[in-house]
A and B are shown apart, each in its own frame.
Chain A
């Protein structure tokens, strides 16, 4: 799905944290969102799946379009929107339930009740994230007993079970150990083409490895803005913006 935003601004209790974010995410591509802390990257993601609705004091302005049509026309209901736009958080947040129920609960909520179907989908997504061999014999155990990396992959599996078209990832690897981070990164790489992925990351090397396009966030005049956008290699090698080139080469930020 093609996502475009036009001048999206996010503010909390009157204080603007992101202004005029305009991006283009091509279907099946991975768009990296990079920039120093506090530039509004996470707020931008939250605006895309309307999670801002449950954050007290948050307000969003600007246009968001999916495949050319306005978001509120395509998905008037936030519940429906979030089925098609999944989100992975920085800190893995599985529910305090069994592994199986973590995946089945959202499925049931979205209308899939047949137990055979549920089991099939559970096995399928756990295989996709590479967890099936590790947990197939303990699906009834609490998800909280898994390691951090396993928990994060479970969260990804949980989101994939709803067959979304877009995945929003907020620094999915930053709280994982290097080995788990690498596995999750490989997983994300393998999802290219099937989903449109927007990934926020602090790790410039990771951004360069994973993303097809990249958007650079920076703080200007006290609010976050997008200062450059384009194909990843182009931006890394030939950016005309001095801030961007020095950030990307590690000299600043």
Chain B
């Protein structure tokens, strides 16, 4: 059994390495952030006059707001459409149409964000521009971001709805309850856990998205005053400025990255906790 011992040792070591990567990532983020945290201090990220790194101003607030607006806005777009899509595929479409629809949604999920950004830039932005401005603003970015995370909501809701016991639906139909009422009163409440985790996962994806938003939100760092204002998210900011940042500036960028990661990890941790307790029951 010696080769079995070797196998166990080797595979467990590999597993530990895999698990350790996350620790490594956090570690390096902390290491690079420490100069900024120590010399500039967290409160200044919210109280400085503006974001002008070269003059030593490091207010992150406009970018935090832009990040929240685009991510939450993306959910506002993606959630109803994704849930409707899942309902469509399970209750309104013929079997062939449903199969096609599912395939198309999977395709949508695979399109790279730069391609979304490119399309948004060339096709969508000019359309939005007819309402004023250059078309490169938070609104365009939010719509495209919504399209990008829609498959996540759709696919997870679809799975949750398909997993409902068929007796519930047959029983309701046998009572003469109409299709829309079955969907509204029985299916959606029954599948709400799966749909909920689809939405949360979509939110984490939206928060983590960089390229499409970078290409579409216009790149002015200021507090957005309306949906048609341009803005810059934290991710886009890192992508734009890391290349030429001086040491102090670079450190602040790492702080913003750390912030993002902590928020996303917290959400994921809470969700996996909840899912874990459900499994134990």
Contact = CB atoms under 8 A, between A and B. Distances in A.
Interface string A13-57: 000000000000000000000000000000000000101001010
Contacts, number: 59
Interface of B: 95, 165, 167-178, 181, 185-186, 189-190
A144 to B, nearest CB: 11
B96 to A, nearest CB: 12
B265 to A, nearest CB: 33
Interface in A90-129: 91, 93-96, 105-106, 109-110
Nearest to B189: A96
Contact of B176 (A56, A81, A155): A81
Specify the main secondary structure of chain B where it touches its partner. helix
Contacts of A162: 175-176
Contact of A110 (B165, B176, B185): B176
B185 A79 contact: no
The residue in A54, A80, A105, A110 that gathers the most chain B C-beta atoms within 10 A of its C-beta is A54
Interface in A155-200: 155, 158-159, 162
B186 A79 contact: no
Interface residues on A, range: 20 to 34
B56 to A, nearest CB: 59
B173 A93 contact: no
Contacts of A153: none
12 contacts: A79-B177, A79-B178, A81-B176, A93-B168, A94-B171, A95-B168, A95-B171, A96-B190, A106-B177, A109-B175, A109-B177, A162-B176
B177 A105 contact: yes
Contact of A89 (B95, B170, B178): B170
B95 A93 contact: no
A214 interface: no
A161 B174 CA distance: 13
Nearest to B178: A79
